[in-house]
Structure 1
Amino acid sequence: MAKKIRQIVDVTDDMTGEDVPEGKADSITLTLDGMTIDLDLHVDGANELRELLAPYFAAGSATLRRAAAGAPTMTATVVRGARRPSATRGTPRVRVSADDPHSPDARRKWLRAQGHEVNDRGRLAEALNEEYNKAHGLA
């Protein structure tokens, strides 16, 4: 006999306190002044929030923060109009600026010049990032 396990997650709208019907929930992550919050909202409320913030996103520039502690902030641009799967709807896609002097490609070029063997793709080792940051006054 086959068994099927189904996980049920009840979502409560963080703004209204009401239960959100299955398939009608949306999560939004916002960062302001260094504070990041996650909001679970009904899709209608999430879309209202996106419409409210749209002029600010259109006027500003997005920033992609690197996960490594002490690593620099990289400037990024939002790719507008790109179709996204519904699971990521509302999360802007970002592309690292080619002008960023501390981009992963720039780091790889510098590290190779210092005699390190570095892959063309993938995450750089933390020790190599630390060496780059120290040499460039970013540590």
Structure 2
Amino acid sequence: MATKEVIIITSDLTGKDIPHDEAQRVTLAYNGEFRSLDLSAHEAASLGEALEPFMSRGRKITKDEATYRKPSTKGMGTNAEASKARKWLKANGHKVSEKGRIPADLMSVYRDSMALDNAA
């Protein structure tokens, strides 16, 4: 008795079966998210045509450069603001360390207070 194993590749775009000799696995990366798609030769060519204006103008980078994410500085403020916030928070009964990052929830308390003071 013989056993035959059949692998059927299905297009991630259309859900249709793709002949083995036409199947292409395409890897995409955008905004730090990576995707892998199984596409037919026609679908892969269409994707290539759609991306060509972007790919021809982009800079080639290494895999390491593609996966590096700069640490977020959103909401950190300046050293001067941190110093003022630390002083205000302590004066208003909040526990805050002498050095290092001030927790976001405490910075929100400080900023909300400053916004109220400026609105008055």
TM-score (norm: length of structure 1): 0.42
Q: Which has the larger radius of gyration?
A: 2
- Identify the structure with the greater strand proportion: 1
- Identify the structure with the greater helix proportion: 2
